[in-house]
A and B are shown apart, each in its own frame.
Chain A
Amino acid sequence: MIKVYTLITVIFVSSCTSIDYTYFNNIKNTFARNEINVTESFIKNFEYSFIKVSYKKNDAIFVLARVLEDGSYEWIGANYEVIITKSGTIIETIGLESDIKFHESQLPDFKNFKTSSHYIDLYNPNLVFEKLSFNYLDTKLPVKDLNYDQVITIQRVSETIGWHSKDIYFYNKGAIKRSIQKINPLKPPIEITFFFKY
């Protein structure tokens, strides 16, 4: 028995590193979130407006590429994925796990509406010219802890494919700050946090 403990001691003492917990790191990488913590210095380091996009277990940063003529914003990700938002609503995506495209970019102001209908294309699986309705559900205000003064819940409905989901939009002083929305009925929601630099 002494031989065993001696051997282990010798191996530990002769090692040039401390115990490497790579095994646990690997497990952690496998199951943990890939989280991006947006701090004040992180925001300062960015020259342009950006959004933090959270989807499934991953966060990603998209930077503002341009503001389109109709007032929508085009955001570009690290792998050249594109998200176009209008008043916080995703109206077109390119290169995501599944994409969406609204046929028109004129969306209602969710802060003051009851219902509206639109036509969309969905990709992966592909479905073109599908009718999608937004229905107003409720408004909560203010949410002091989270620095939002208005939280609006909208329902997305497409009866023909059985899509019923809820979108949540968070505002502060009338400006969109955060949104949680589904762009595909079969996929989890996308959460976007907006960091505008005017």
Chain B
Amino acid sequence: MFIFRFRVFTFLICLFSNFLFADRYEYIYPNRNHSFSNYGTIGLLQNPTARLFSNGTLGFSWTHNDPYLRGSLVAYPFEWMEVSYQYTDINNELYSPVKEFSGNQSLKDKSFDAKFRVFKEGNILPEVAIGFRDLAGTGLFSSEYIVASKFLTQDIDLTFGLGWGVISGQSIDNPFTKISDKFLFRNAETGVGGKLSNENYFSGPAGYFAGIEYFLPKMRGMSIKFEYDGNNYNLEGAKPINQRHQYNIGFTHPISENFSYKFSYIRGNTLSFGFSYALNLGNKNSQSGAKIKQAPIKNVKEIKMVTSKSESNLYKASLKYLRDEGFYLQKATINNDQLSVVYAQSNYRNPSISSGRALNILDQISPEEIKHFNISEVNGGIGLYSLEIDRASYQRYKRFNLPPKIDETIYAKPFLFSQDKQHGYNPIAKYPVFFNSIGPDLRTQIGGPDGFFFGDLKLAWNSELLLTKNFSLISRVHYGIYDNMGKLKLDSDSILPHVRTDIVKYLKNSHHLSIERLQFNRFGQLTPSIFFKLSGGIFESMFSGYGGEILYRPFDRNYAFGLEAWKVYQRDYEQLFELRDYTTSTGHISIYYTEPNTNVTFRMKGGRFLAGDSGISFDFWRTFYSGFRLGAFFTLTDISAEEFGEGSFDKGFYFHLPLEVFSKTYSKRNFGWGLRPLTRDGGASLIQSHPLWGVTDYSHINNFNRHLVDFYD
């Protein structure tokens, strides 16, 4: 008996000893990343696994898996969470039985999936996750699962799980019925979508599934997948699908670290294929390598000789050398041995990097008599922060590349920018100043009954006219190049004022020249923590008006409060200067809270929305180290689900991708993308340029603390 136990023990030790030759395995099995299943999230072929990508990853997966064509956008907001949004083209069913409504277009289904890791894989225990398919859609693919995955060796990943809903093909008794009878039955009806069908979760028959993924050695991450299919194809989609047997086989081949393609043979009768692209965007330099360092200033000895002659020389040198690096000097003062400068800049999204670079310049050009620096940054005439540092400490820490310590070597404070305050040097800025750029702009309308994809390619001309330091005119003018919007014909069926659902008319009637925005902004600051903005003009494609907002955002607190009020007039469909009859007042009180460890910000916004409905909007977003932001929102107002229409309530998700993630240089430019599954009138908010939260995003101590390691970057 002892010998038997010893052998079993030895076998288990060998089985789970993943760490032998761990270094070599990284070369033999490079890119041993898990890959997307035919359902668009990480998994085997048709079955899910417990695996996840690292947080901050954004992926796209496309699969042709007859009778489905599926495109998925997959995001990993946390180490333990996967969320995905998919469009599925169900080509064995028409979009609508009424041909006049949708022609011969096949059915399109929108669905939302989520997976949560419960346990991380250990030496003995497997990785365990709970997942949901078609969480808030029409329920055509609705399923839940609990799944465990374990690397048996370095190259074999075994998965076993239990599923409910569609994933109940290999039927067993539902173990949850031992807890409650409410798990006995599952409502098979599909609804209009938009609501969580939590009464069905883990209910009805359960089934098991299993499979392995085998990573081929020295094949750059290529893997073979084999599985015992857990799906019940009589429950899935619009019509039952024929299945010859339960065994599926396929492979995935990563062409690069980010891109892979896959082939599989499923259900014993269907060949499927697809590709996927996944990028980690959470790390600052994950896609570009290190940023180009600041070039040292030439002839610093001579410059210091000149700047030591007079204060005026130092001011002028500061103006020149700061400007060469994109810092625009607003004010400067020399007080005994301290040089204080106030600057504005538009290249850096983080105060640690911008202040570090500005200090680097000042340190190189300032005479030795200057012992302290005080640098402050402004944006739109609003003071963001002020930083004090002892020059000797700065030089000492920099020599050893040690990040400075807040409140020990550098002191960061809120900053109230006053035009009236006396400064030693007040460079005269010539107003008006005009900035503009031209770029392409693509608008899309996808998944409607008139067709799957409608889009228009436009030339967008963006401009900012600075009339004074804190008074500006922002504009965005479009000129259409190509579009297929003419085929759109679906009219709004909303019983609420058509504040958003006339989108088709706005898209169709703005072919040529249109003005998306022509907005005056006046920024100001009452105290270091209270900011305000007054605005008027054309705010967005559907509304003009006037109003303002005020934001209380303490520098060293994780909360903020905002108040905004607007009088708005609905614009005509041509999007020029004409107005329609509809006018309303809208406004909100907002509460913000940022959790500093994960950098997740939660905003609760309550008030009156554009269609006159009142309620609360919830918005969550996580800002990763790189500046990449993933967010989601939903709005609940005093209108019923029936009044709201399809989708039941307003919701959506978005991401902001800083372009500098791909570049060797810093830039504040973003690429933003968001999606509302349905455009409805309830819970609609005004879109206006430069909201105060964004303008003042810089002015928070967390932004310093988080990026101090980049101080000398």
Q: A residues within 8 Å of B by Cβ?
A: 1, 3-4, 7-8, 11, 14-17, 19-24, 26, 29-31, 34, 56, 58, 78-79, 97, 122, 125-128, 130, 160-163, 185-186
Given A15-B434, A127-B26, A162-B218, A8–B662 Cβ distance below 8 Å?
A: no
Q: Name the one of A11, A21, A58 contacting B465, with C-beta atoms under 8 angstroms.
A: A11
Residues in A with CB closer than 8 Å to B23 are 125-128
Q: How far is the CA of A30 from the CA of B475 in the complex (A)?
A: 25
Given A8-B477, A11-B475, A24–B439 Cβ distance below 8 Å?
A: yes
Q: Does B663 contact A (CB under 8 A)?
A: yes
Residues in A with CB closer than 8 Å to B293 are 78-79
Distance from A131 Cβ to chain B, minimum over Cβ atoms (Å): 12
Question: 5 nearest interchain CB pairs?
Answer: A162-B218, A23-B439, A125-B26, A161-B27, A15-B434
Q: How far is the CA of A1 from the CA of B437 in the complex (A)?
A: 23
A26 and B669 within 8 A (CB) = yes
Q: Does B463 contact A (CB under 8 A)?
A: yes
Q: How far is the CA of A12 from the CA of B572 in the complex (A)?
A: 25
B438 and A162 within 8 A (CB) = no
A30 and B576 within 8 A (CB) = no
A127 and B24 within 8 A (CB) = yes
B289 and A14 within 8 A (CB) = no
Q: Does B659 contact A (CB under 8 A)?
A: yes
Q: Does B489 contact A (CB under 8 A)?
A: no
B24 and A19 within 8 A (CB) = no
Q: How far is the CA of A185 from the CA of B31 in the complex (A)?
A: 12
Residues in A with CB closer than 8 Å to B245 are none
A19 and B438 within 8 A (CB) = yes
Q: B residues within 8 Å of A by Cβ?
A: 23-24, 26-28, 30, 217-218, 289-290, 292-293, 430, 432-439, 462-463, 465, 475, 477, 513, 515, 518, 576-577, 659, 662-665, 667, 669
A14 and B434 within 8 A (CB) = yes
Q: How far is the CA of A175 from the CA of B293 in the complex (A)?
A: 33
Q: How far is the CA of A79 from the CA of B712 in the complex (A)?
A: 12
Distance from B65 Cβ to chain A, minimum over Cβ atoms (Å): 31
Other than the given A8-B477, A15-B436, A17-B434, 9 more pairs (CB < 8 A) read A15-B463, A22-B437, A23-B437, A26-B667, A29-B663, A29-B667, A78-B293, A161-B24, A186-B30
Residues in B with CB closer than 8 Å to A20 are 435-437
B515 and A4 within 8 A (CB) = yes
Q: How far is the CA of A19 from the CA of B638 in the complex (A)?
A: 48
A127 and B27 within 8 A (CB) = yes
Residue of B nearest to A124 (CB): B26
Residues in B with CB closer than 8 Å to A186 are 27, 30
Residues in B with CB closer than 8 Å to A23 are 437-439, 462, 669
Residue of B nearest to A24 (CB): B439
Residues in A with CB closer than 8 Å to B665 are 29
B662 and A185 within 8 A (CB) = no
Residues in B with CB closer than 8 Å to A160 are 24, 28
Given A127-B23, A185-B27, A161–B438 Cβ distance below 8 Å?
A: no
Residues in B with CB closer than 8 Å to A127 are 23-24, 26-27
A interface secondary structure, majority? mixed
Given A19-B438, A128-B23, A58–B28 Cβ distance below 8 Å?
A: no
Distance from A178 Cβ to chain B, minimum over Cβ atoms (Å): 23
Residues in B with CB closer than 8 Å to A162 are 27-28, 217-218
Residues in A with CB closer than 8 Å to B218 are 161-162
Distance from B666 Cβ to chain A, minimum over Cβ atoms (Å): 10
Q: How far is the CA of A162 from the CA of B27 in the complex (A)?
A: 8
Q: How far is the CA of A186 from the CA of B254 in the complex (A)?
A: 13
Q: How far is the CA of A153 from the CA of B711 in the complex (A)?
A: 44
A56 and B289 within 8 A (CB) = yes
A21 and B437 within 8 A (CB) = yes
Q: How far is the CA of A75 from the CA of B30 in the complex (A)?
A: 30
Residues in B with CB closer than 8 Å to A8 are 477
Residues in A with CB closer than 8 Å to B477 are 8
Q: How far is the CA of A34 from the CA of B665 in the complex (A)?
A: 10
Residue of B nearest to A3 (CB): B577
Distance from B96 Cβ to chain A, minimum over Cβ atoms (Å): 39
Distance from B464 Cβ to chain A, minimum over Cβ atoms (Å): 11
Distance from A105 Cβ to chain B, minimum over Cβ atoms (Å): 23
13 residue pairs A–B, Cβ–Cβ below 8 Å: A1-B513, A11-B465, A14-B432, A14-B434, A15-B436, A23-B439, A26-B667, A29-B665, A79-B293, A127-B27, A128-B23, A161-B24, A163-B27
Distance from A104 Cβ to chain B, minimum over Cβ atoms (Å): 21
Residues in A with CB closer than 8 Å to B669 are 23, 26
Q: How far is the CA of A56 from the CA of B26 in the complex (A)?
A: 21
Residues in B with CB closer than 8 Å to A161 are 24, 27-28, 218
B475 and A58 within 8 A (CB) = no
Q: How far is the CA of A29 from the CA of B287 in the complex (A)?
A: 13
Residues in B with CB closer than 8 Å to A19 are 436-438
Residue of B nearest to A22 (CB): B437
Given A78-B293, A162-B218, A125–B659 Cβ distance below 8 Å?
A: no
Q: Name the one of A3, A30, A34 contacting B659, with C-beta atoms under 8 angstroms.
A: A30
Q: How far is the CA of A127 from the CA of B443 in the complex (A)?
A: 49
Q: Name the one of A11, A56, A125 contacting B463, with C-beta atoms under 8 angstroms.
A: A11
Residues in A with CB closer than 8 Å to B434 are 11, 14-17
Residues in A with CB closer than 8 Å to B662 are 30-31
Q: How far is the CA of A79 from the CA of B292 in the complex (A)?
A: 9
Distance from A17 Cβ to chain B, minimum over Cβ atoms (Å): 6
Residues in A with CB closer than 8 Å to B577 are 3-4
Q: How far is the CA of A126 from the CA of B22 in the complex (A)?
A: 9
Residues in B with CB closer than 8 Å to A15 are 434, 436, 463, 465
Which of B434, B518, B577 has the most chain A CB within a 10 Å cutoff? B434
Q: How far is the CA of A53 from the CA of B463 in the complex (A)?
A: 40
Distance from A128 Cβ to chain B, minimum over Cβ atoms (Å): 7
Residues in A with CB closer than 8 Å to B436 are 15, 17, 19-20
